[in-house]
Structure 1
Amino acid sequence: MSADYDVVDLIRLKRDGGALSHAQIDWLITAYTEGAVAEEQMSALAMAILLRGMSRAEIRQWTAAMIATGERMDFRSLTRPDGSRRLTADKHSTGGVGDKITLPLAPLVASYGVPVPQLSGRGLGHTGGTLDKLEAVPGWRASLTNAEVLEQLDAVGAVICAAGPGLAPADKKLYALRDVTGTVESIPLIASSIMSKKIAEGTDALVLDVKVGTGAFMKNYDDAAALARTMVALGTDAGVTTTALLTEMDTPLGLTAGNAVEVQESVEVLAGGGPGDVVELTVALAAEMLAGVGLSGVDPRENLRNGKAMDSWRAMITAQGGDPDAALPQPRHQHTITAEASGTLIRMDAYAVGIAAWRLGAGRARKEDPVQAAAGVRLHAKPGDTVQAGAPLMTLCTDDQQRIPRAEQALAGAVDIAAGSAPAAAALIKSRITAADI
């Protein structure tokens, strides 16, 4: 460790609007990870960062220091028959409702010969977790060793798995602290948390899907754009080709929110069908990932149509012990919510649908809570659709019937139906941010 500092001096420095030096940041992150900085001291510093912010140089060094507390993955051994290196591409979403995009996206990009090391997480609160969804597939396992990840990337081209404990261990400790000290919203700390793991993962190109809206972590465009610019800057400074798409999350993505129901919808997309918004976003992100490794001008829809993406999906699921032909879990109980009036559905609140899915058992309140594979919400209409009074709007799915009333409560006032035609739908992709924009 470098020369010791007085952590109280660092707290005062940031509290008063000063900038932490590289050496101070390196010492602080290492000392905190090793337990030499007390939780209450890091709590005070995190609050000072929330209130005062950090410069680009500070965030870059903070991220690098967190990476340095753990291991880095290395995919440079992935080569073509001629010996040239196969560049890897990855995607990160800031989380939303019905956001199953990783499931069809990883095999779609892999179907073009681009390895996709997709390290994913579990759900917490109203946002679903990719690993929870995939664990609805019988036999599928989320935990792989680094050697297994590399072997599967070489043989199959796509991996969706849990991040190992060796990647940026400082982040795991700091994330838990932020969660209980009211500092989760700090853009420098959000960005460094996400990017420390993605940079340590060793991917060559990264595409960020930054959600904006009621069902997203970032509720307004300006905050989402600031987060996107910060993360693109971190990736660029680390030598990772990084772009970000800001995407709409006032309305759930697709027609499902939950676990097995989202897997089923993802398979429909891979089979060349599926809801238009899920297909649109999957294709847009795939095009960005492919362009990031030099494959510009490719239309990813082609491999959805010709079955190559589905072949990649089946190989990926099989390689991780899953059975792509097995029946997905079905809920023991279902309850249908109907339209209270006839007219045009003009609003369906993504956050309310996410809370309902969570209460049905699809999500968790604490990281250690179990989830139900069959729990979730199926939507029968989306904003812009004409509905009739008494017609189904959504079906609630759960293994525990006692959960249904609380899920219904979450959906009170979540839907607006009006006479006349619907207003123009908001663009699914709001903007694109690249290194040139920062």
Structure 2
Amino acid sequence: MLLPQEIIAKKRDGEVLKQDEIKFFVDGLVSNNFNDAQVGAMAMAIFQKGLVPQETVELTKAMMHSGEVLSWQDLDGPVIDKHSTGGVGDKVSFMLAAIVAACGGYVPMISGRGLGHTGGTADKLESIAGFNVQPNLSDFKRIVADLGVAIISQTPDLAPADRRLYAIRDVTATVASIPLITASILSKKLAAGLDVLVMDIKMGNGAQMEDLAQAKALANSITTVANGAGVNTQAIITDMNQVLGSTAGNALEMYETVKYLTGKLREPRLHQVVVTLAKAMLINGKLANSDNEAQVKIDHALDSGKAAEIFAKMISALGGPTDLLEQPWRSMNKAAHIIEILSPCNGYIKGMQTRDIGFSVVGLGGGRISNDQKIDHSVGFDRILPIGTRVNRGDVIARVHSNSLDSGELASKQYIDAVSFSDTPVDDPQIIY
């Protein structure tokens, strides 16, 4: 008979686990035969010793089959999804899913919660009063079929083993493990029954992967496992050396999403990432034959208002308001205090410690320190100026939204500490690597 401690010890000592041992661990995640301490120890052993490719494949498949696996035979278009490895201010999924649905794709997006300093797509959606991130699977499938898109959080039925492991990784400093990231992402995505997956691998000081070598290793791991499982998968490496867009924080990012979809504000770096990923999704899904054709379709989806309309319908179909685009703050909470963060000098914004800014949002209450913590959706930063911007002493470089003056003043100081300045002009960082 297998015992949890024997399997933990085997991986701790760097041995290769057999298929039945990996399945025993995954079954134990669902049945609680592995208690939280043992799951944490196993995650740390994998973090320290790694997995060989075959172990990663077996872990992914076992987690995928730990719950229901969806199928979409009745749809008249490709089933396409995108997943980001996470960053600060990354609200790309909302615009992207709506654009691809407006172009004829079907996007059943099962999203995650915040992990460490990175925000979670599901948490952002829960900023909106009434929005249900956990519909039953029949409602989820119906909304995807009707509108072309539904963005929900992981349901109890899909990859339940990952749901538990994900929460424990978050609070045991074992998030940034390539095998665990690969298995976590793909177990959910493969269970969603996809034809095509596009991965947005974030790279930089606000990402799990801080350098290009790590990012490429993760991209190779994910594309190898996913393509091997029969899902046409492409990975694109994008920048996370500064906050993406002009906001970081749950409701603030939903507000930026509304402004993007309605054409009021499309921050250029955010727009470049959205368009690059949308093109890959349309081309891999055979909804466009070339970059140019994909660009025309994306422009039409945005300019005609069709993407915005689909997004608004999805919000109301999942229990949110019918007027999010017209009156976003009617159904989202605003923070009590807004504090302007002023440049301490003349010069150019040279760099950002993006991870620190993410942790400032967590410190304000906008993320989790323990996995059962409630989130304050109203807090965060907005009007964030990008790297390369020329500023004078006293200019507003961002604003902090907080529900206490003390936490707001602390976050303002942390933000200043996280930004560096230069006397001379700074080149715009690369966005797509």
Q: Structure 2 length as normaliser, TM-score?
A: 0.90
Deviation readout 1:278-318 (Å, 9 max, x if unpaired): 11111111111112211232112332122221121122112
Note the 1:246-261 alignment, pairs <5 A: 246-261=237-252
Matched, 1:26 2:23: yes
TM-superposed deviation, 1:179: 4.4
286-295 or 264-273, larger mean C-alpha shift: 264-273
Equivalent in the alignment of 2:283: 291
Deviation readout 1:402-429 (Å, 9 max, x if unpaired): 321221242242222222211x222111
TM-superposed deviation, 1:153: 0.9
Which of the residues 424, 429, 432 maps onto 1:429? 432
195-204 or 316-325, larger mean C-alpha shift: 316-325
Residues 216 and 146 (structure 1), Cα distance of their counterparts in 2 relative to 1, 3 Å cut:
same
Matched, 1:126 2:117: yes
Which of the residues 319, 322, 330 maps onto 1:321? 319
Paired with 1:381 and 1:419, the residues of 2 have a C-alpha distance of 17
TM-superposed deviation, 1:277: 0.8
Note the 1:8-407 alignment, pairs <5 A: 10-11=7-8, 13-31=10-28, 33-37=30-34, 44-78=41-75, 80=76, 86-179=77-170, 181-272=172-263, 273-296=265-288, 297=290, 298-299=294-295, 300-323=298-321, 324=324, 325-328=326-329, 329-407=333-411
232-241 or 344-353, larger mean C-alpha shift: 344-353
Paired with 1:183 and 1:261, the residues of 2 have a C-alpha distance of 28
Equivalent in the alignment of 1:436: none
Paired with 2:113 and 2:28, the residues of 1 have a C-alpha distance of 28
Q: What is the RMSD computed on CA atoms of the aligned residues?
A: 2.2
Structure 2 residues without counterparts, runs of 5 or longer? none
Structure 1 residues without counterparts, runs of 5 or longer? 81-85, 431-438
TM-superposed deviation, 1:96: 0.8
Deviation readout 1:214-254 (Å, 9 max, x if unpaired): 11122222222211211111211111111111111111011
> For residue 326 of structure 1, what is the amino acid of its counterpart?
Q
**Percent of aligned pairs sharing the same letter:** 35
Equivalent in the alignment of 2:424: 420
> For residue 205 of structure 1, what is the amino acid of its counterpart?
V
SS of equivalent residue, structure 2 residue 67: coil
Paired with 1:399 and 1:186, the residues of 2 have a C-alpha distance of 35
Deviation readout 1:10-62 (Å, 9 max, x if unpaired): 45554554433323333443245434456655555444433332222221111
> For residue 357 of structure 1, what is the amino acid of its counterpart?
V
SS of equivalent residue, structure 1 residue 208: strand
2:104–2:287 CA contact under 8 A, matched in 1: no
TM-superposed deviation, 1:90: 0.8
TM-superposed deviation, 1:69: 1.9
389-398 or 343-352, larger mean C-alpha shift: 343-352
Q: Structure 1 length as normaliser, TM-score?
A: 0.89
Paired with 2:236 and 2:32, the residues of 1 have a C-alpha distance of 38
SS of equivalent residue, structure 1 residue 291: helix
TM-superposed deviation, 1:114: 0.7
Paired with 1:164 and 1:249, the residues of 2 have a C-alpha distance of 28
Count, aligned residues: 420
